[in-house]
Amino acid sequence: MSMLEVTDLNVYYGMIHAIRDVSFTVEQGEVIALIGANGAGKTTILHTVTRLLASKSGSVQFEGKDITHAPAHSIVRLGMSHVPEGRRVFADLSVYENLKLGAYTRSKAETEESLQDVYKRFPRLEERKSQLSGTLSGGEQQMLAMGRALMSRPKIILMDEPSMGLSPLFVNEIFNIIQEVSASGTTVLLVEQNAKKALSIADRAYVLETGKIIKSGAASDLIHDEDIKKAYLGE
């Protein structure tokens, strides 16, 4: 049994058929990358998995449990955390309040424990804990969004374009953190436009084009694939 199993997923935006028969699996402990151009449907897939969007047909199974029709707010409780595109931190709330909301479904003691872990991983967040999140830099907001997602101690973390709009220095830092998160035992499903970076840390990857998976395989193979090189790696 795979940890996450998406089968024949179809998603529409009104009349537009955005996701076509997409199937993929994520095994426990893996780092899986979904790569593809802007508008290929990567974000839509993540939104459908965590139920921010409804699918037309197909199924999503997490640890053998069918979550295709589960309410969105119940997903995090199952052990799945989503770092959304554009970070979506609560700008009018402090860093500390954002982090605490990340552990909304957990007890006070567990929250405190997770908070110390997150502060250890992101010392900058502790320095800025009473600052309003809207005043943080883009990179800091990304760290906050990741820290907030980790507050629920997820089994799997879904990350949507974590490197978007960040300086190269921050991009490296964010990818280091993703590797650390993975090393600590959390499964990672990563959506990235920066295909080179994503493939360099992923175990396997799926390549998406206009709502369809056109290629999949070991990241180490895909990084040397001639078509992929031409289309996504700019070589």
Residue whose tokens read 């991009």: 171
User: β-strands 212-218, 204-209: how paired?
Assistant: antiparallel
Token pair of 211 as six digits: 């709502």
Residue 54 or 218: which CB sits closer to another protein? 54
User: β-strands 65-66, 187-192: how paired?
Assistant: unpaired
CA distance 166 to 209: 24
Q: Is 69 in the site for another protein (CB under 8 A)?
A: no
- Single residue of 39, 69, 91, 183 touching another protein by CB under 8 A: 91
Q: Is 105 in the site for another protein (CB under 8 A)?
A: yes
CA distance 155 to 208: 25
Q: Is 43 in the site for another protein (CB under 8 A)?
A: no
Q: Is 84 in the site for another protein (CB under 8 A)?
A: yes
Strand runs labelled E in the chain: 4-13, 16-26, 31-36, 57-62, 65-66, 80-83, 156-160, 187-192, 204-209, 212-218
Residue 84 or 139: which CB sits closer to another protein? 84
Segment interacting with another protein (CB under 8 A) among 4-12, 98-106, 119-127, 163-171:
98-106
Looking only at residues 109 through 148 of this chain, which bind another protein when binding is defined by CB under 8 A?
148
CB of residue 217 vs another protein: minimum separation in angstroms?
Answer: 30
Segment interacting with another protein (CB under 8 A) among 34-42, 91-99, 209-217, 222-230:
91-99
Q: How big is the site for another protein, counted in residues (CB under 8 A)? A: 28
CB of residue 229 vs another protein: minimum separation in angstroms?
Answer: 35
* Contact between residue 222 and residue 51 where contact means Cβ atoms under 8 Å apart: no
Question: How many Å is the maximal CA-CA distance in the chain?
Answer: 52
Binding site for another protein (CB under 8 A): 50-52, 71-77, 81-82, 84, 88-93, 97, 100-102, 104-105, 148-149, 152
